[in-house]
C-alpha cells in the first residue's frame, strides 16, 4: 500500500508540475536489461536484471525518478550446493547530467526498499525456501545516454553483503530534445 501511495504521489507531481527543462522533454521512461554480479564472494556467481525507471526532468541537468528493478542472482557455494536470490526494488532516484549534446554522461544515486527471496538447493535434492525480507538499501550509478540509447552501471548496497553490481543496456521513451 505504501509503495502504491508513493508511486501515485510521484506520478501526480510529474504530471502537474511545470517543467523547468528548456531543451529536453520533461518526462521519460528508461527500460534496461543487464548482467548482475552478487557481492558475496563465494563460488561461481552471476545473474540478470531488468529495470523500468520513469523520470521527471526538473531541469536539463537534473532528473528525479522512481526505479522498479528485478534481479535474479545465482551462486554455487560448495560442491553441488546452489543458491538463487530474487530481489525486487522500489527506489527513488536522482541523476545529474554532466554534458548537453548527443552523448550525455550522468552520475546519480538512489535509495529505497529491496525485497529478497532465496532458494537453496543442496546435493541431496533438498530445496529450502527462505522467507522474503524487505530491507532498505541505496546505490550510486553512472552511465551515458546517446540518442535514446542508455548504458549504465550501479552498485546496489544492502545489509549483510546482499548487494550486487549491475551493468545495464537499454533505451528510453520520451525525454529527448524538444
Give DSSP secondary structure letters for 36-47: EEES--SSSEEE
Residue 2 domain-assigned (yes or no): no
More confident: 96 or 38: 96
- Assess if residue 13 is contained within a domain: no
Dist CA 116 CA 132 (whole Å): 5
The boundaries of the domain holding residue 55 are 29-174
Residues 149-173 pLDDT 10s? 999 999 999 987 778 999 999 999 9
pLDDT of residue 161: 77
CB 164 within 8 A of CB 40: no
User: Distance between CA atoms of 105 and 97, rounded to whole angstroms?
Assistant: 6
pLDDT of residue 60: 86
- HSE-CB of 31 using CA atoms within 13 angstroms: 5
Domain count, the chain: 1
112 assigned to some structural domain: yes
With respect to residue 19, please indicate whether it lies within any of the assigned structural domains.
Answer: no
User: CA-to-CA distance for 51 and 71, rounded, in angstroms?
Assistant: 9
The answer to whether residue 169 is domain-embedded is yes
Nine-digit cell at 52?
A: 523500468
CATH number at residue 99: 2.40.160.20
122 band by pLDDT with thresholds 50, 70 and 90? low
Q: Average pLDDT, whole number, for the chain?
A: 83
Amino acid at each position: 500500500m505504501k509503495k502504491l501511495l508513493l508511486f501515485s504521489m510521484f506520478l501526480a507531481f510529474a504530471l502537474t508540475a511545470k517543467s523547468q527543462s528548456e531543451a529536453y522533454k520533461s518526462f521519460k521512461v528508461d527500460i534496461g536489461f543487464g548482467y548482475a554480479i552478487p557481492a558475496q564472494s563465494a563460488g561461481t556467481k552471476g545473474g540478470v536484471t531488468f529495470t523500468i525507471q520513469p523520470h521527471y526532468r526538473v531541469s536539463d541537468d537534473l532528473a528525479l525518478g522512481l526505479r522498479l528493478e528485478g534481479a535474479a542472482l545465482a551462486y554455487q557455494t560448495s560442491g553441488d550446493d546452489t543458491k538463487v536470490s530474487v530481489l525486487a526494488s522500489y527506489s527513488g532516484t536522482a541523476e545529474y547530467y554532466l554534458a548537453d549534446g548527443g552523448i550525455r554522461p550522468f552520475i546519480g544515486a538512489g535509495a529505497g526498499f529491496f525485497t529478497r527471496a532465496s532458494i537453496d538447493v543442496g546435493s541431496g535434492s533438498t530445496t529450502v525456501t527462505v522467507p522474503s525480507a524487505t530491507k532498505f538499501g541505496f546505490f550510486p550509478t553512472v552511465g551515458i545516454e546517446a540518442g535514446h540509447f542508455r548504458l549504465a552501471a550501479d552498485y546496489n548496497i544492502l545489509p549483510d553483503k546482499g548487494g550486487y553490481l549491475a551493468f545495464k543496456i537499454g533505451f528510453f521513451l520520451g525525454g529527448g530534445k524538444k
